[in-house]
């Protein structure tokens, strides 16, 4: 990882002994100070060899935010950090949670441990910012299916995806957000806390079993 130092910000100080405004040399603007640009390596224990994973395949690294669309200068590659690496149960794949330092993008990338190739599973972009604190829950259901949260609809909801076919399934929907998601030990159900516009907090469980095997309906039930 490499660290970059942002430009400090001048903050006006209006209350001074001589009555004249002076500038206070303050911290850099959010997103520019002490950010990290990540690199990723794969170590093959059998060959005792380290491979560098090509992160340049991450889509949209040079995309400008909306407020810079009229800027004709060449866009620089944005820095990013790897928020987490999650191995599949059979250790064949790694799901990498990658986040841009300007908080405009979150990528879920799939690393094939056999060849070191990286591919895109999901990209979420928000011209304001991606709320990493909410969509922080994710994991594997089995050797080829992941679960994760996304604000693609404007609200944080729960999704699954088969990483082989890249087929996505949305488990929750509506004008509320799903938070504090956890997967049951048998991996047949989720427990989460959805927020309601009237600020009523409820616990719900989502069954992952086929409809024919579910003991109750609807798909979500209070617990």
CA 56 to CA 42: how far, in whole Å? 16
- Specify the DSSP element, H or E, that contains 99: strand 93-100
- Residue among 191, 182, 150 at smallest CA distance from 169: 150
Per-residue pLDDT at 36 exceeds 70: no
The pTM for the full model equals: 0.75
Domains of the chain: 38-222 (2.140.10.30)
Full DSSP string of 137-191? -EEESSSSEEEEEE-TTSS-EEEEEETTTTEEEE---SSSEEEEEEE-TTSSEEE
Q: How many CB atoms lie within 10 A of CB 107?
A: 24
- pLDDT tens for 44-63 read 888 898 989 999 999 999 98
The reported pLDDT for the residue numbered 188 is 80
Which of 61-65, 76-80, 147-151, 212-216 has the highest mean predicted lDDT (pLDDT)?
147-151
- Residue among 38, 2, 9, 32 at smallest CA distance from 102: 32
CA distances from 2 to 30, 35, 79 (A): 18, 8, 10
At 2, list the tokens.
């490499």
- Residue among 110, 157, 109 at smallest CA distance from 131: 157
Proportion of the chain above pLDDT 90, given as a percent: 35
CA distances from 101 to 40, 82, 149 (A): 16, 10, 19
- Please report how many Cα atoms fall inside a 13 Å half-sphere around the Cα of residue 213, on the Cβ side: 6
Proportion of the chain above pLDDT 70, given as a percent: 81
Q: How many CB atoms lie within 10 A of CB 161?
A: 21
Residue 89 DSSP class:
T
197: confidence class by pLDDT, cuts 50, 70, 90: very low
- pLDDT tens for 83-122 read 899 999 999 999 999 999 888 999 999 999 988 899 999 9
């Amino acid at each position: 990882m490499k660290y970059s130092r942002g430009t400090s910000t001048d903050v006006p100080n209006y209350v001074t002994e001589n009555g004249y405004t002076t500038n206070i040399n303050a911290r850099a603007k959010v997103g520019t100070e002490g950010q990290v640009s990540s690199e990723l390596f794969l170590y093959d224990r059998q060959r005792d060899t380290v491979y560098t994973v090509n992160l340049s395949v991450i889509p949209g690294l040079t995309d400008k935010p909306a407020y810079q669309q009229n800027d004709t200068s060449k866009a620089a590659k944005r820095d990013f950090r790897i928020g987490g690496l999650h191995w599949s149960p059979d250790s064949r794949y790694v799901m990498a949670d990658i986040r841009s330092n300007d908080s405009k993008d979150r990528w879920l990338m799939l690393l094939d441990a056999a060849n070191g190739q990286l591919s895109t599973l999901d990209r979420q972009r928000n011209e304001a910012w991606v709320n990493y604190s909410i969509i922080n829950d994710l994991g594997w259901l089995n050797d080829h299916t992941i679960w994760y949260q996304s604000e693609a609809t404007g609200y944080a909801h729960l999704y699954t995806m088969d990483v082989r076919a890249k087929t996505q399934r949305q488990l929750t929907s509506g004008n509320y957000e799903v938070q504090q998601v956890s997967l049951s030990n048998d991996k047949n159900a989720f427990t989460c806390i959805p927020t309601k516009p009237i600020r009523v907090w409820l616990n719900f469980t989502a069954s992952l079993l086929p409809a024919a095997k579910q003991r109750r309906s609807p798909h979500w039930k209070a617990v």
